[in-house]
Structure 1
């Protein structure tokens, strides 16, 4: 699965500084928020804001014609929801890392995915859920063989691949723009892997970084 994930050259043309750390986690045990994940969320909520990282994502949105005040990058929307919401153990874990690093992170249920994930600029005719609407031509989207999985880079995910308390196998997409370094991106991946391992000691985790020219 990891080897098949790809980012279109058109996305790198738009933002050569883009990189994504893709992580698969097999054998998760998810469940409702508990004292462990509640403490993670509380600690992340107390972190200092990092507006320069969020501003980079706003610029990226403007680059393909989106208005970031109307459809906010996921990390911008998340950091405006303090204290952080309680969702479920696995989502709490990646939201914690997202806010700590001002880093957009998507979580997908691998068992509901159809083919490999790829980040592309939309043609405008991709199948999408009614609640999200059809992507506009040139919009940056994540998709699989069925259709859109996340609109406007990381704005909003479809319900089809959402992580639930029944999720066992997951794909996480940690998305970086400068000024975040590749080293910090990898550190964030290690932090997420650590939290997932605390939740599910037998989880099997693999990662791959995809960047321009690599």
Structure 2
């Protein structure tokens, strides 16, 4: 499959970039105690940080709120997923372990202050595009309701939309039966390509150290808008 960023996105945000990680031959299961402990400890430390800081003091959240506004969405109504996680932790409503893929996804999002999505590769149909949602774009989300994605960055394959930095679709969710997956890091636009590559590689290495398998990483940006992902 080919994954491509819509050229029009760069007219609004020239520095927009995403990290892509393709995982193959992975095992998704209950997270090891080490990951559960790190996720819990990180949230506890973040809770104390949030007592003294506003959400917009965190550069990743601030940048993604700016991106939301640039594309025409209201970040106070439809929040970037990373901000939603931070708001939960501020209320001491900590994220419970789910399985290794989701737990790592949440850990990366909290650590790097960015939205992160992970999708079952075998549930994707044909080529995929990152584009901007319109008034007809939406899907049943992991939050248990139908979500409209007008003015929000949207991943869509040849069947339907399936992901966004707002909330992901049920259709392509990773389960304990998943053996190949595509992870998308909605990177901070301020990162340069070298920093973005290092962050993407570090995420892939941590993921495979827990879930096994192998990984291939890419960073897409204005000068490299597409990449081929193995079938």
Match in the other structure for 1:26: 24
Note closer, same or farther for the CA distance 1:69–1:109 as it changes in structure 2 (3 Å cut).
Answer: same
Match in the other structure for 2:96: 85
Note closer, same or farther for the CA distance 1:129–1:197 as it changes in structure 2 (3 Å cut).
Answer: closer
Which consecutive unaligned segments of at least 5 residues does structure 2 have?
51-56, 225-231
Quote the RMSD (CA, aligned, Å).
2.2
* Distance in 2 of aligned mates of 1:171 and 1:57: 21
Contact 2:138 2:147 in 1 (8 A): no
* Distance in 2 of aligned mates of 1:16 and 1:145: 26
Residues 25-104 of structure 1: matches in 2 within 5 Å? Answer: 25-45=23-43, 46=45, 51-82=58-89, 83-104=94-115
Counterpart secondary structure, 2:171: coil
* Distance in 2 of aligned mates of 1:116 and 1:106: 17
Match in the other structure for 2:200: 189
Select which of 166, 173, 191 maps to 2:177: 166
Report the CA distance between 1:36 and its aligned residue.
2.2
* Distance in 2 of aligned mates of 1:104 and 1:28: 22
Relative to structure 2, which stretch is displaced further, 183-192 or 59-68? 183-192
Contact 2:133 2:154 in 1 (8 A): yes
Relative to structure 2, which stretch is displaced further, 85-94 or 187-196? 187-196
* Distance in 2 of aligned mates of 1:142 and 1:55: 22
**2:140 matches 1:129:** yes
Give the paired residue count.
208
Which consecutive unaligned segments of at least 5 residues does structure 1 have?
none
Counterpart secondary structure, 2:34: helix
Match in the other structure for 1:208: 218
Note closer, same or farther for the CA distance 1:135–1:97 as it changes in structure 2 (3 Å cut).
Answer: closer
The one-character-per-residue Cα deviations of 1:34-91 (angstroms, maximum 9, x if unpaired) are 3122023134323567612211111111123221112110111122233333121111
Calculate the TM-score normalised by the size of structure 2: 0.81
Note closer, same or farther for the CA distance 1:123–1:66 as it changes in structure 2 (3 Å cut).
Answer: closer
